[in-house]
């Protein structure tokens, strides 16, 4: 009790000395006062450092991407540094303690902002867009004198009455409101008869959902030059149908991801043709993974927005949302797809550049049709632009889309290899921020962080196998779109083999595909 009273009196006397006027102090008291101020400033800096350290560690725990063994090391190092900084204030090393406390506070503050930004980017990626905006255009022949919508007020308008009629009805209502009168419209059962009606002057204008333009231009090569847009100001917002993810533990259970590569640039859209269709099956226990690519032109049953089913090219299924592609692939392989990842041209460039480039092992050497660059057989160190050109190429190959599918899997292997290396820790935020609007997934944030954490926690790399299903080229009727097109008729023996490989991965078998 006497010690406590004595200590309390000592503290009070020190405080009194700190705030007393210098003129009334002896030289010895002035020296003591400077020493006390120096100590309290140092202790205050250490306290600030401790607060920022706690903020940083809480944010890091919340992100949950750093393996526990690294977190323990980090905490021990921070505790030891903090202890030195604190106790140094009572020794001659107090200046060094202050400098370390200030520098560490700055570093940890930037670290806290870095981790918080990463968490926000991750939430943006895993938060599905609730609204999809669709652009609608009014199109006439290039030779038509009309330059704007009002010039076509007396025209007869055609539209596709079989696909996405609800959006067309809304567009017609907006056109009528703009013109102040009702336009004359005629519905056509498919794109073939609609385009020919415009070409043959049965109608003078057509209403086109721009989502389907690329499919039309693939069949009618001259569509882009033979027509022109006189109004593109109509946009329609539709509620997206969310694709529910599986409730699965990616740290212990095998799972599948549908990787969809969209043939567009800019912000990711919920609809649009998918030129990349890869089913990735992962087994976290065995570290085995299988990539199965399906040709974009595979001629298989596709279900449209309203439930109509017809034989179509797989790429057209993407125009009915990511769920359209997933349904087509589920029916083809008879497997459940737990998650999807959708990325477009711009996102591919962004993610590869954010990773600092990737290494792709090319099966063949070829000259790109998209950029002035020649890829060599074997290892290619590529940036984002070159990676995109590598993935898009099909004209340089005799087997066209089949080789392109294999090249796309080689690029995915390169991305996985780079993303699962320790370097991802420093690039993680940059990668997420670069693709936050160019990348979409229904994979929960905690599943993504758990997968990255488990990958970084072990030195065993993923053993990634690849397989591509095949078929024969032919010309067939696209039943939902209503025109003839070049397709790939499935070789179902290769489909069955792919399913067998997927099941082997899930059951924990280790094997090597030649």
Whole-angstrom distance, CA of residue 325 vs CA of residue 317: 5
C-beta neighbour count of 238 within 10 angstroms: 17
Can you give the pTM of this predicted structure?
A: 0.77
Candidates 3.60.9.10, 3.40.630.190, 3.40.50.280, 3.90.1170.40; correct CATH number of 245-344+438-514?
Answer: 3.40.630.190
Give the pLDDT of residue 157. 96
3-class secondary structure, 498: helix
Quick one: CATH architecture of 131-239?
A: 3-Layer(aba) Sandwich (3.40)
pLDDT at position 139 is 95
Tell me which residue of 197, 148, 138 sits closest to 168, measured CA to CA: 138
Q: Tell me how far CA of residue 135 lies from CA of 121, 208, 277, 510, in angstroms.
A: 27, 9, 25, 48
H or E stretch covering 191 = helix 191-199
Q: What is the pLDDT of residue 66?
A: 82
- Cβ atoms < 10 Å from Cβ of 375: 20
Q: What is the pLDDT of residue 8?
A: 47
Domain ranges of the chain: 2-126, 131-239, 245-344+438-514, 345-410
* CB-based contact 401:488 (threshold 8 Å): yes
The span from the CA of 189 to the CA of 173, in Å, is 20
Distance between CA atoms of 346 and 427, rounded to whole angstroms?
18
Residues with Cβ within 8 Å of 166's Cβ and at least 6 positions away in sequence, in order, are none
DSSP run (H or E) holding 410: helix 400-419
CA distance 428 to 207: 44
Residue 498 and residue 467 in contact, taking contact as beta carbons nearer than 8 Å: yes
Q: Which of 53, 72, 69, 68 is nearest to 115 (CA)?
A: 53
Distance CA 302, CA 318 (A): 10
- Cβ neighbours of residue 404 under 8 Å, at least 6 residues apart? 391, 392, 393, 394, 397
Sorted by sequence, the CB contacts under 8 Å of residue 277 that are 6+ apart come out as 258, 259, 260, 261, 293, 294, 295, 296, 314, 315, 325, 329
Fold match, 131-239 / 245-344+438-514:
no
Compute CA distances 57 → 69, 71, 101, whole Å. 14, 9, 16
**DSSP annotation of 83:** H
Distances (CA, A) of 298 to 190, 256, 404, 456, 489: 20, 20, 14, 37, 6
Q: Give, in order, the Cα–Cα distances in Å from 153 to each of 138, 168, 488.
A: 11, 17, 43
The span from the CA of 38 to the CA of 297, in Å, is 75
Q: What does pLDDT average to in each consecutive run of 10 residues of the chain (514 residues)?
A: 48 54 62 76 92 93 85 94 92 90 94 84 69 80 94 94 82 92 92 93 93 84 93 75 79 92 65 83 93 93 85 90 91 94 81 87 92 94 93 86 88 84 63 68 85 78 89 91 89 96 94 83
Do residues 197 and 203 touch, judged by C-beta distance below 8 A?
Answer: yes
Q: Give residue 128's pLDDT.
A: 62
Residues 217 and 483 sit within 8 Å (Cβ to Cβ): no
Is residue 368 a contact partner of residue 389, using CB atoms and an 8 Å limit?
yes
Q: What is the pLDDT of residue 434?
A: 64
Question: What pLDDT, on the 0 to 100 scale, is given for residue 482?
Answer: 81
Q: Which string of b and e fits 30-53 if b means at least 16 CB within 10 Å? A: eeebeeeeeeeebbebbeebbebb
d(CA 168, CA 163): 9
Of 281, 208, 294, the closest CA to residue 248 belongs to 281
CA separation for the pair 294, 314 (Å, rounded): 8
Cα 107-113-116 angle, rounded to 5 deg: 135
pLDDT of 18 reads 53
Q: What share of the chain is helix, strand, coil (3-state, %, to 5)?
A: 50, 25, 30
The separation between the first and the last C-alpha atoms of the chain, rounded to the nearest angstrom, is: 82
């Amino acid at each position: 009790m006497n010690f406590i009273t004595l200590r309390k009196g000592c503290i009070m006397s020190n405080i009194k000395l700190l705030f007393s006027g210098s003129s009334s102090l002896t030289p010895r008291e002035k020296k003591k006062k400077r020493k006390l101020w120096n100590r309290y400033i140092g202790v205050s800096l250490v306290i600030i450092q401790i607060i920022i350290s706690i903020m940083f560690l809480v944010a890091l725990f919340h992100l949950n991407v750093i393996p526990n063994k690294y977190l323990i090391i980090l905490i021990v190092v921070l505790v030891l540094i903090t202890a030195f900084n604190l106790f140094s204030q009572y020794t001659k090393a107090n200046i060094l303690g202050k400098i370390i406390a200030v520098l560490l506070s700055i570093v940890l503050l930037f670290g806290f902002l870095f981790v918080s930004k990463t968490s926000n980017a991750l939430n943006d990626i895993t938060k599905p867009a609730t609204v999809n905006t669709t652009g609608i255009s009014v199109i006439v022949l290039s030779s038509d004198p009309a330059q704007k919508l009002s010039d076509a007020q007396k025209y007869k308008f055609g539209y596709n009455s079989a696909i996405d009629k609800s959006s067309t009805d809304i567009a017609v209502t907006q056109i009528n409101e703009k013109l102040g009168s009702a336009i004359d419209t005629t519905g056509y059962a498919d794109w073939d008869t609609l385009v020919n009606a415009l070409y043959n002057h049965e109608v003078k204008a057509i209403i086109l959902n721009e989502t389907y333009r690329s499919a039309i231009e693939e069949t009618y090569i001259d569509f882009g030059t033979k027509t022109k847009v006189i109004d593109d100001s109509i946009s329609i917002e539709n509620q997206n149908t969310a694709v529910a993810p599986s409730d699965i533990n990616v740290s212990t259970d095998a799972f599948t991801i549908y990787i969809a590569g969209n043939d567009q640039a800019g912000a990711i859209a919920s609809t649009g043709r998918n030129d990349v269709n890869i089913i990735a099956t992962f087994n976290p226990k065995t570290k085995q993974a299988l990539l199965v690519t399906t040709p974009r032109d595979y001629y298989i049953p596709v279900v449209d927005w309203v439930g109509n089913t017809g034989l179509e090219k797989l790429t057209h299924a993407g125009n009915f949302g990511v769920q359209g592609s997933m349904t087509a692939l589920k029916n083809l392989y008879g497997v459940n797809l737990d998650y999807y990842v959708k990325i477009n041209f711009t996102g591919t460039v962004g993610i590869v550049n954010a990773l600092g480039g990737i290494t792709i092992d090319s099966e063949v050497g070829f000259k790109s049709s998209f950029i002035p660059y020649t890829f060599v057989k074997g290892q290619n160190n590529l940036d984002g632009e070159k990676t995109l050109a590598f993935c898009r190429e099909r004209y340089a190959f005799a087997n066209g889309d089949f080789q392109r599918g294999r090249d796309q899997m080689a690029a995915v292997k390169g991305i996985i290899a780079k993303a699962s290396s320790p370097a991802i820790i420093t690039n993680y935020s940059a990668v997420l921020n670069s693709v936050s609007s160019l990348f979409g997934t229904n994979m929960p944030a905690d599943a993504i962080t758990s997968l990255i954490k488990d990958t970084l926690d072990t030195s065993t790399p993923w053993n990634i196998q690849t397989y591509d299903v095949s078929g024969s080229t032919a010309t067939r009727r696209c039943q939902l779109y209503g025109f003839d097109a070049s397709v790939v008729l499935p070789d179902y023996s290769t489909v069955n083999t792919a399913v067998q490989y997927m099941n082997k991965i899930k059951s924990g078998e280790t094997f090597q595909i030649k």
